[in-house]
Structure 1
Amino acid sequence: MKLSTVILAKTSSAELFEMTLNAVHSLLDADTNVEHEIILVESNPNYSIDGFEYPNSVKVIVPNQKFNFHKFLNFGIQQASGDFIALCNNDLIFNKNWFAEILKVAQSQPHIDSFSPSDDFSTTQVGFQIGYKVMTHIKGWCLVLKKELINRIGPLDDTFDFYFADNDYALTLLQYNIDHALVFASKVEHLAKKSTRKSEGSKEYLAHYTIPNYLYNCDYAYVLEDELSLSGFLKYQNKWGSPNLIYKKKKLALLLMKYKLGFLNRYFLRIKF
């Protein structure tokens, strides 16, 4: 079994270089019975000039363009030759047999094509849970998918350069009637999982956007605190609809999948009611 792991990195300091190396080494040490292909998509075109050198076993791709989360993952996916593809941040520590645990579920449940490891090291849960909730089931910092899944859904939508990329992935899975599983025994530590952003200075950028009134509700006010977050949210809304509409669509999509009618999701999830 071959695993192609696409890692996004920006090697601009010794600290970031070491973090990426730790991710690579922990990945190789975690599953020694797996054939590994590691593809590093590097955002710093001068990383080697700056004195950083990755092992020869790591294939480094340096796109000659501005960073875009989904687009850069697509570059890595295009080079991947494994049976499974892992899409990963560089701030990860892979625990022993993390992929072997996902493989167990994949082999016993062949209808599941997309997976996330768990970063909850305190849970006593076993097995897996089908779900599409972002940050609960969908871990945007580490997704594992069967290679043939890309043939079904096509390239990741590079409209999403960072924010709400995982939300878009979750709805895309529902649209194509694809099961996603959180695998409890697969453990990966996400070093920056509790990062926060605070608004600083003026919010003059707000004048450049048409902002729905409901975003001023306290439940969504966080989106307005950062221009990149706001931009990502509006792209997500433009593609899939308002939060209330998305909630209803997801509820219906899951119901259709429950009754083996998930093929209908492809037709109605993108409709703007």
Structure 2
Amino acid sequence: MKSKTEVDIIILSFAKSEELKLITQQCISSLVASEDKDEIKFNIVVIESQKDMKPYQYPDTKTVYPDEEFGYHRYMNMGIEMTSSKYVCLCNNDLRFHQGWATEILKAFHKYYDLSSASPFCSFHHPKMGFEENNGIYTGYRSRYEVAGWCLFLKRDVFRLTGKLDENYQFWCADNDYANTLAALKLRHALVSSAVVDHLDSCTLDSQAEEAAIASSEFFYLEKKWNHRSMGSWTCV
């Protein structure tokens, strides 16, 4: 009897309104419905920042409410440490998973033995960046191009080489740092154009001023961390 492939899914959520809670619920529902349960088992962990929802559990998930202050990588590391499957997928909550998306990424991992990390194709975003849906894989390390930071699907063994995600990133530039780390270690990443997961874009920040303040400090840290290297086309900052 063929065993199921298990994939640990870590979703960060900040359901500070009913509308945002619904976005997370719809994300989870589309994920659960996207694959044959006899073939792929999703172990879904939601890290919820809205503490007053506790002890609410999103259906089909383990929902946790950290005491620690929010940090994008800090919370992702919590989810990574709570799980143990061979494959792990780091997700925003504003996603819609299309049928068979994970199967397509797993096919790419099986076909390209040196592929360590992948992102799915967003039908809203990626055509504008010059990519075609269902047109093979696109290897590279450019943020928002090959590296779609809202959904990163990787082999857990990657963390043996990279270590934990850098927790200095509160929100912005986390995907740039991830891409740079893979490139520095020569760990191959690709956009899998046959795996479709649509990104609806984040709406959890309160204002442009808040967004700019967070972004400026994190771009500064990113530049300080990586400016001693020959960056080439690793990042898109």
The TM tier, using the shorter chain, reads: 0.7 to 0.9
- Gapped runs of 5+ residues in structure 2? none
Within 5 A, what are the aligned runs for 1:43-192?
Answer: 43-48=49-54, 52-55=56-59, 57-120=60-123, 123-192=132-201
Q: Which of 18, 25, 28 in structure 1 is aligned with 2:22? A: 18
Counterpart of 2:115, as a letter, is I
Q: In the alignment, which of 212, 215, 225 is matched to residue 229 of structure 1?
A: 215
Using the TM superposition, give the Cα deviation of residue 82 of structure 1 relative to its aligned residue in structure 2, in angstroms. 1.7
Cα 1:200–1:237 change in 2 (3 A) is: closer
Relative to structure 1, the CA distance from residue 196 to residue 66 in structure 2 (aligned partners, 3 Å threshold; closer, same or farther) is closer
SS of the residue 2:52 aligns to: coil
What does the per-residue CA deviation read over 1:64-110, in whole Å, with 9 as the maximum and x for residues that have no partner?
Answer: 12110001000000011222100000000000001101011000111
Distance between the aligned counterparts of 2:202 and 2:14, measured in 1? 18
Greater fraction helix: 1
- Contact 1:40–1:60 (CA under 8 A) maintained in structure 2: yes
Q: Identity over aligned residues, as a percent?
A: 32
Moved over 3 A (4+): 193-201, 248-251
Q: Could you tell me how far apart the structure 1 residues matched to 2:111 and 2:168 are?
A: 35
Q: State yes or no: 1:239 paired with 2:230.
A: no
Normalised TM-score (structure 1): 0.75
Cα 1:179/1:78, change in 2 over 3 Å: same
Residues 24 and 200 (structure 1), Cα distance of their counterparts in 2 relative to 1, 3 Å cut: closer
The count of aligned residue pairs is: 222
Bigger RCO (CA 8 Å, 6+ sep): 2
Root-mean-square deviation (CA), in Å?
2.4
Q: Specify the code of the residue in structure 1 equivalent to 2:231.
A: K
Q: Which amino acid aligns with 2:187?
A: I
* Displacement of 1:53: 4.0
Instruction: Decide whether aligned partners of structure 1 residues 53 and 37 sit closer, same or farther in structure 2, where only a CA change above 3 A counts.
Output: closer
Q: Which has the larger radius of gyration?
A: 1
> Residues 148-186 of structure 1, C-alpha deviation per residue, up to 9 Å, x if partnerless?
111111100001111111110010001111000100011
Q: Distance in 2 between matches of 1:61 and 1:124?
A: 35
Corresponding letter in the other structure for 2:50: N
TM-score (structure 2 length as normaliser): 0.86
What is the match of residue 27 of structure 1? 31
